[in-house]
Structure 1
Amino acid sequence: MKMYRKCICEICTCGRHRCPHQPTALHSNAKAFKGTSEYVDKYPPYGNVCQVESLRPKQEYQANHGRMEGITTFRADYIPHETAQRPVHIQDEYRPKTGQMDLGTTYKRDYNEYKIERVAPMRPLENKRTSGGKVNTMPTYKDDYRAWDLQKRQLVKPDYDYQPPAVIFGNPTTFQDDFSPKGLVSTGNFKPPNIARLSQVPFDGVTSHRISYVQHPLEPKFSRPKQVYKPSSQPFDDLTVHQRDYKGQYLDPVKSFKPEHTKVATDSRFDGITEFRDRYQPWEVSLPFVHKQAEYVGPDGKIDLNTTTRIDYVPHKVSMASPIKPVSQSKKNNAPFQGNTTMKEDYKAWEMYRQEKSKLREEIPRPSGKFDGMTTFQSHYVPHGISPVKSFKPVNAVRQSMVPFDDGTIYRTEYTPKMMDICPASFPSPLGYVFENTDIQGHKIFRKVPEAEINTSLVANGVHVPKEVIVMS
């Protein structure tokens, strides 16, 4: 019979047994390496080797065994030294070397010139096959094209010889050359006069609405009759289920577990001495070095304020250019201003009167005299007797029956017991398998045993598996 190997994950049938996988495996392949190497030959494998215990002390909390001293290793071992100012390096004065500078370099000294000849081309010469006949160099354009006798077009532009002006800013502009002054032209106004047209016919006030409107009578508005209030004949029951069934219990008030607030105070006087004042030792500190700025000394003599512009500039007399545009001549009218307008002439003010306010007529007359303190609710209120409301809630009472309880269910009548399968991986050693080894990923590999050896293995392990297991609810 062919034997093969299985993992505990493959033997399990219930899905609850898994091997502890190790994520630090060097290879993803779970198969063991069966090849030979120099390391495997020289170093044979050993049995179970215990892990070497670490000699490193455990990091445990050490409680305080006494009062903490304020002296540190820096304070105990520090020795103050006298410090001096860092010396300043004075740069030497530059003195140029005498004699001529040797401009020779190693490149000029060691370089040897070579005569370079032109490299002959490696490309073979092109064999041109020429014929002995003459080439006709006349193209089709020259053969077919016939030139026309066209006369040169004369320029319409007049000849203008530029002559530079003899006076500064003497060149006139194109606007001055082309602009010809013209007199003022009076144009007629075609706008119609804004005069109101008054009609001599009196306004009759008749409109199309007044002519075409036909008045229809309105139907009376439907009003629903008001229902008369009918009080209930049953007395009002103001008892609720909570008021009827609730029975109050008298309990002691809850005690507070909060500690009492006591003021922490002492009668001793504060002496003002602290650990810093007691152990602090003042050090002598030298003042920082202050650099004194040199006093400003002004230059001797007067300052020459003349510039190249003042010395070389030659002023020119420039006359202001006169405008060519004619001056607009405004006509002054000495006649008095006439304040009449079309609005004042055509508008006639109407006599307006203030409209009176439209007030509703008061239906209820205002009372006269002193208020007696009687309201409409007190005067019209009719007291009614209160009748308790009947509760329609069913009575919460236990109904007892003399008929015996029928506890028969569909599950009890139709349930058939079945054999319960036991997962072979639940045993320390699965039935029919023998533990072989554990691979690098943490899988437990079991080797299948033939059926002839299963009975002997059961007796050796002392595990007896029942044939059928019946489970009843």
Structure 2
Amino acid sequence: MEGITTFKSDYLPYDIVKRPFQVPEEYKPKTGEIELGTTYQKDYNVHKIQPVTLVRPLERKHTTGGKLDTIPTYQDDYRSWEVQRREPSKAEHIYHPPTEKFGNSTTFQDDFVPKELILRQSFKPRVAKLSDVPFDSATSHRSSYIVHQLQPKFIRAKEAYKPSNQPFEDLTTHRNDFKGLPGQLVKSCKPDNAKVGSNAHFNGVTEFQDRFQPWLVSLPELRKTKEYVPPPGNMDFNSTSHLDYVKHQIVPAVPIRPVSNGGRTSAPFQGNTTMKEDFKAWGTCRQEIIKNQQEIPKPTGKFYDLTTFKSDYLPHQIIPAQSFKPVHAIAPSSAPFQDETMYRTEYTPQKQEICPANYPSPPGYVYVNTDSGGHKFFRLLTPESFESHSNPIPKEVGVVS
């Protein structure tokens, strides 16, 4: 078998040319105003709408006195007619096989017209030419930056902690001011732990040990199982059914179904059944509610309004329970109330440091300039110039936090 296919023998390669690129036209908006009117707004005429009338048929009352007509409208009105068969309108196309080998051309070969491909214009930038000039590393920061000398940082001396000279009292206001209320001690309602029992010695004999007398029990007798002895001779596998059964000739059952007539009759269909002929409808009435007779007769006498609680209840005298709550007696004192606390006697106030940002011109700093963002810059004064400055730091300034 040759390894040449129709694709290898008939295929001719051709040069591939790129598709032409169509430049889209620039959108130019139309001048003037847009008319928003539609044909619906111009041609539509408004009509008055009347309420819709119901097409529902009137309610029919079914009567049971007449005879039921069982012939449907389909059997009464339908008349079958002869229908002739339609001839097919399909054009007769006889297939003729080609005489040549692979003589029929494909739709692609018939309809496809090869076109020349135009190369697209490349918008890719060209390779930049490298410069031979050495790189100048001068920046605006290097050229414009002026180095300023930093002044020594002003360090404020911390004040030493001075402890209080008075000794610390560990008494609280509760210990100093609270006085116990007079009252009796609470009595315990727990019963006395009295010893229950006698001093007689326990001899260790119980009722079970005294009355129960053990008796001898004999062991159960064991029965020996007999050894299995197989019967002599061979086993006969014939059963009574195999030996005594006699086969009989069985005739197949005849179906009792009636013979169906293949031909159709032209006689009209009789829709009468035994149910329709023998069953006669009768009028029905609603059954009354079945009520059981009351076994207990209703009382006829006068109601005395006397219950068993009123007739049999005996009132008893109520004895109030004894209260064990102590008497809430407060002994008034004529001594003046001491309102001194640990916070008042032992608290040492510390000096508050105020943030320099709270002042419009902070003391100890000199205004330098303001940048483009609105931020003000200040310079710290040295201790020598700080004393001779015209705006000294105030000792105490009221600040609302």
TM-score, normalised by the number of residues in structure 2: 0.22
Higher relative contact order (CA 8 A, sep 6+): 1
